[in-house]
A and B are shown apart, each in its own frame.
Chain A
Amino acid sequence: QQQVKQSPQSLIVQKGGIPIINCAYENTAFDYFPWYQQFPGKGPALLIAIRPDVSEKKEGRFTISFNKSAKQFSLHIMDSQPGDSATYFCAARNRDDKIIFGKGTRLHILP
């Protein structure tokens, strides 16, 4: 119930392609869904977030799509660049205001 399931575990995409990372959850009480980006040697940093009453949110080349009925959400990166190579974590906030993280996706963008 408290889990956020993330896939794929790793992803390799050609420069300019659109990597898609998917997440699913069971707990309908989750009320906030952030994505974090982590570069090697750094801590995760908040990238973009969405609330469940919104179906899509876009910030620059990053887009979250949210399907409340399916309890799924995904991150799309438009016109991906080698500098986007990082580990991405989806997450959800529960009733206790704790953030539950997915297990992460290692993304590599080929030049």
Chain B
Amino acid sequence: DVKVTQSSRYLVKRTGEKVFLECVQDMDHENMFWYRQDPGLGLRLIYFSYDVKMKEKGDIPEGYSVSREKKERFSLILESASTNQTSMYLCASRWGRTGHGYTFGSGTRLTVV
């Protein structure tokens, strides 16, 4: 089975800090995604990457950036964390653009104080 591993289960950061959320997948998937999940709002796409060095904005990219230097790793960066970025962050991967279904990691619960 494909495994998507998010480096931290829980994180607490201070307002203004630069925060890195790491995601690694072990099945050579081309596509990777970052979502945030908030009650009543479902899953909202932040950024995605269809291949190494590629990145595209999703629906809510403001305040975030990403990095994909290696195929298996996709990092989400909060340039200057704010309290409204407190959320559950989910990473997902997919075999390719025509691939069926995402495999999600277990999520990182980020609290910004």
Chain A residues near B (Cβ < 8 Å): 6, 9, 32, 34, 36, 41-46, 49, 89, 97-99, 101-104
Tell me the number of A-to-B contacts counted with CB atoms below 8 Å.
45
| A contact residues around B42 at 8 Å (CB) | 6, 89, 101-104
Residues of chain B within 8 A (CB-CB) of A103 are 40-42
Contact B40 A9 (CB under 8 A): yes
Closest to A6 in B: B42
Interface of A is mostly: loop
Interface residues of B in 88-113 (CB under 8 A from A): 90, 92, 97-98, 100-107
* Residue count of chain B within 8 Å CB distance of chain A: 20
Q: In the docked arrangement, what's the CA distance between A9 and B39, Å?
A: 10
Interchain CB contact under 8 A, A97 and B101: no
* A44 close to B43 (CB less than 8 A): yes
26 residue pairs from A and B, CB less than 8 Å apart: A6-B42, A9-B40, A34-B101, A36-B104, A41-B107, A42-B107, A43-B4, A43-B105, A43-B106, A44-B102, A45-B104, A46-B102, A46-B103, A49-B100, A89-B42, A97-B98, A98-B45, A98-B58, A99-B102, A101-B42, A101-B43, A103-B40, A103-B41, A103-B42, A104-B42, A104-B43
Whether A43 contacts B100 by the Cβ 8 Å rule is no
- With both beta carbons as reference points, the residue of chain A lying nearest to B38 in the complex is identified as A103
Given the interface contacts A98-B45, A103-B41, does A43 sit within 8 Å of B107 by beta carbon? yes
Q: How far is the CB of B98 from chain A (nearest CB, A)?
A: 7
- Out of A32, A34, A43, A102, name the residue touching B104 (CB < 8 Å): A43
Name 20 extra pairs, CB < 8 A, besides A89-B43, A101-B42. A6-B42, A9-B40, A32-B100, A34-B100, A34-B101, A41-B107, A43-B90, A43-B106, A43-B107, A44-B43, A44-B90, A46-B103, A49-B100, A89-B42, A98-B58, A99-B102, A101-B43, A103-B40, A103-B42, A104-B43
